[in-house]
Amino acid sequence: MDRRTALKNLSMSLGFTVAAPAIFNILSSCTAETNSWSPLFLSSNEKYMVTHLADIILPTTNTPGALDVNAPQFIDLMYHDIETKENQDLFKKGALTFAEKFKSQFNAEIIKGKKEQFENLLASYFKISDEASKTILLEQKLPFENLSVSQTENYLLYKFLLSVKAYTIFGYFTSEKVGEEVLNYDPIPGAQIGCLPIKKVPNERIWAL
């Protein structure tokens, strides 16, 4: 049976005509929020930091960026609803550490920080030698209570930055805009091809689902 017949069966079962893939958008909503959103979890300083960092982590280019899909709002929601109390505390402490580093680096409050300054500071932490990065990532796997006092600051800082990065990516790639317009969206494939030359896939991009 082909996809057309299957869709016909589905529409019969639902009692109205299916204009694929329109039906599958019925439930979804697109709310492009502006800058004026009120956080559930983040303080205003944290919201400012997270917004700048998300923008740098996945910038707008010829494809949408993190801010085009409200990644900061998503981070706020996930920290509010999903994350454990322990991780919430670590996040707050890490954000504070980052803000202090920012202040000592640029002699300015973070809430006044410019994009360039955020870029410079993030680069100083992420664009480092392979060896240094290995040490840092290993340290991230240790339980917090096992860390020495000298390790704690770095640990919190990277915990914060890596968490912002992870949720930015998560929120970005599971957003409606990216899922439907940037990646290859195929809610009802209808058929399966086990081995397909990548050249036959639009833009050679991943499937959204």
Partner 1 sequence: MIEEKITEYPTVYDAIVIGTGISGGWAAKELCENGLKTLVLDRGRMVKHIEDYPTMHKDPWDLKHRGEKNPEDVKNQKKQNRSYILGPNSKHWFVNDLKHPYNETKPFDWIRGYHVGGRSLMWARQSYRLSDIDFKANKKDGHGIDWPIRYKDISPWYDKVEEFIGVSGENLGLPQLPDGKLSEPMELNCVEIELKDKIKENFDDRLLTIGRAAHKTGNAMHEGRSNCQFRDRCVRGCPFGGYFSSNSSTLPAAERTGNMHLRHNSIAYEIVYDDKKGLASGVRIIDAETKEKLFFKAAIIFGCASTIGTASILMQSKSDRFPNGLGNDSGELGHNIMDHVSKSGASAEVDGFEDFYYKGRRPNGFYIPRFRNLNDKTTQKKFLRGYGYQGSASRLNWKRNIGELNYGEDLKDELMTPGPWRIGMGGFGECLPYHDNKISLNYNKLDDWGLPTVDFHVTFRENELKMKEDMEKQAIAMLKAAGFKNVVGFNGISTPGIAIHEMGAARMGHSPKTSVLNKHNQIHAVPNVYITDGSCMTSSACQNPSLTYMAITARAANHAATEFKKNKNL
Burial of 8 (0-12, 13-18, 19+ CB in 10 A): middle
In the complex, what is the shortest distance from the CB of residue 183 to partner 1, in angstroms, rounded to a whole number? Answer: 7
d(CA 152, CA 164): 18
In the complex, what is the shortest distance from the CB of residue 19 to partner 1, in angstroms, rounded to a whole number? Answer: 14
- Distance from the Cα of residue 92 to its chain's centroid: 18
- Distance from the Cα of residue 70 to its chain's centroid: 9
109 vs 142, beta carbon nearer partner 1: 142
Binding site for partner 1 (CB under 8 A): 1, 3, 5-6, 9-10, 13-14, 23-24, 26-28, 56-59, 61, 63, 65, 74, 77-78, 81-82, 84, 122, 125-128, 133, 136-137, 140, 162, 165-166, 169-176, 179, 182-183, 186-199, 201, 203-207, 209
In the complex, what is the shortest distance from the CB of residue 107 to partner 1, in angstroms, rounded to a whole number? Answer: 25
DSSP 45-59: HHHHHHHHHHHHHS-
d(CA 66, CA 56): 8
In the complex, what is the shortest distance from the CB of residue 94 to partner 1, in angstroms, rounded to a whole number? Answer: 15
114 vs 190, beta carbon nearer partner 1: 190
